[in-house]
Amino acid sequence: MNYKILVIPIAIIFLAACSKHDKAYYAANIDKAESKSRECNSAMEAAFVANDKEKITSLSEDVECKAAVEVFKKHKTELAKVERELKRKEKEQARLAAEKAFQEKYEQQLSSLKNLSYVDFVESTKDCVGSFSFKKSPICKAYQELKKDFDTKEIAVLKAKYSGEKLEDFRQDQCQGVNYSKVYCALALQAAREQKQEKIEGYLADRASLKKAFNQCQSQYDVLRKANKWGEANASIQTYQCSLVAQAASKLKVYSFNKPIQ
């Protein structure tokens, strides 16, 4: 009889101990961990509001509450990490898709613009001129890629079409008045500079030709000067041709038309 009386309390204690859930249990039953965690947190809030120090201490030391809160907190952290990784992957996929679409559009624009005349190229890309953006549109990226080549080819066309004073006249026509063109003004200016430099280099490579051209300008200048026609004399050496040979001669340290080159 005494043996049975002792067994009952021990069994009750054993069952009570087993009723406490540990971390392993809550790790396998996250929904239970969430429910218990919320229950413990609510109880703790109520204890704080009531200033029930005994209850606060009891809840703080409650093994099951600690297990549930810790497991659920860890679960939320891991879940947040997974969600961040999913968002990162989605963002990366979106970025790659956007880059692919941009590249395809850029290549289409590149192919299309290459076949245009210079005038049509300028007209088609006019919105790209003077615009500044760290993220350019496909057509403006293609414009930047092709512009230098288009300009170089058109400058070559101008130099072939107009020579010497004719190119200067064209430049002046495009840079002022009713025919003003910002695009062709800049191109003609560059073409004129290149053509002058080429002619100067040609003279320097052919000293006999330079001597002949220089002395023709010097002779005319000398005749007018001796006739006291100073204005005409100065005007004669300001012409395109005489100005050009003067620039070439200056490279040889001949700085005036006072005397001919011997």
Q: What is the pTM of this model?
A: 0.64
Give Cα separations from 231 to 71, 132, 153, 244 (angstroms): 102, 50, 41, 20
Overall average pLDDT of the 43-70 stretch: 89
| Cβ neighbour number for residue 44 with a 10 Å cutoff | 18
Higher per-residue pLDDT: 59 or 209: 209
How high is the mean pLDDT of the chain? 88
Categorize the per-residue pLDDT at 8 as very low, low, confident or very high, splitting at 50, 70 and 90: very low
Q: How far apart are CA 80 and CA 74, in angstroms?
A: 10
pLDDT digits (tens, 9 = 90+) for 74-110: 999 999 999 999 999 999 999 999 999 999 999 999 9
CB distance 219 to 260 below 8 Å: yes
pLDDT number for residue 130: 73
pLDDT digits (tens, 9 = 90+) for 15-36: 334 457 898 998 999 999 899 9
Query: Does residue 60 have a pLDDT over 90?
Result: no
Q: H/E/C letters for each residue in 161-205?
A: HCCCHHHHHHHHHHHCHHHCCHHHHHHHHHHHHHHHHHHHHHHHH
pLDDT digits (tens, 9 = 90+) for 203-250: 999 999 999 999 999 999 999 999 999 999 999 999 999 999 999 999
The percentage of the chain sitting over the pLDDT mark of 90, rounded to a whole number, equals 75
Cβ burial of 190 (10 Å; 0-12, 13-18, 19+) is middle
Categorize the per-residue pLDDT at 129 as very low, low, confident or very high, splitting at 50, 70 and 90: confident
Q: How far apart are CA 175 and CA 154, in angstroms?
A: 17
pLDDT digits (tens, 9 = 90+) for 156-207: 999 999 999 999 999 999 999 999 998 999 999 999 999 999 999 999 999 9
Categorize the per-residue pLDDT at 134 as very low, low, confident or very high, splitting at 50, 70 and 90: low
pLDDT number for residue 9: 46
Query: Does residue 4 have a pLDDT over 80?
Result: no
